[in-house]
Amino acid sequence: MPHYMLSVFQEEGAQAPSAEMVETIMARVGAHQAELREAGAWVFFATLTDPSSATVVRAADGAVSMTDGPYAEAKEQIGGFTIIEAADLDEALEWARRGSEACMWPVEVRPVRQL
């Protein structure tokens, strides 16, 4: 069965939700993850640290450079992702819709290339 990556994008510098809202969101995301597991669609889930904690490594022509911070200057950054198995893109899009409702952020769906 094909795999899809559901990426959650968060707006950098957006006002942090209240503690009560975070609790609500985490409960909704937990319920969504449980649904994925029960359906046999869940493969892997992770949240990421703040983009400022990133280090970009570039290797070319035998030289290596490292730069602190995210690869791209962007208003929205990936905040977490889930890898799922789905019969087709339509099923993956439905899981993404549910995930977006749960976390209240946009979710990008990308097929994982099978090598």
Q: What is the pLDDT of residue 107?
A: 96
pLDDT of residue 3: 97
> pLDDT value at position 111?
97
Planar angle of CA 11, 13, 17, nearest 5 degrees: 80
Number of structural domains (the chain) is: 1
Helix axes 89-103, 19-38, angle to 10 degrees: 160
Contact 99, 2 (CB under 8 A): no
pLDDT at 56: 92
**Three-class SS of residue 115?**
coil
Q: What are phi and psi of 105, to 5 degrees?
A: -125, 160
* pLDDT of res. 26: 93
pLDDT of residue 17: 85
Report the CATH number at residue 24. 3.30.70.1060
Instruction: Quickly tell me which residue has 């985490």 as its tokens.
Output: 26
Range of the domain at 20: 3-111
- Cα dihedral 106, 83, 77, 15 sign: positive
Q: For the chain, which ranges sit under pLDDT 50?
A: none
* Per-residue model confidence (pLDDT) at position 72: 78
pLDDT at 76: 86
Question: What's the pLDDT at 75?
Answer: 83
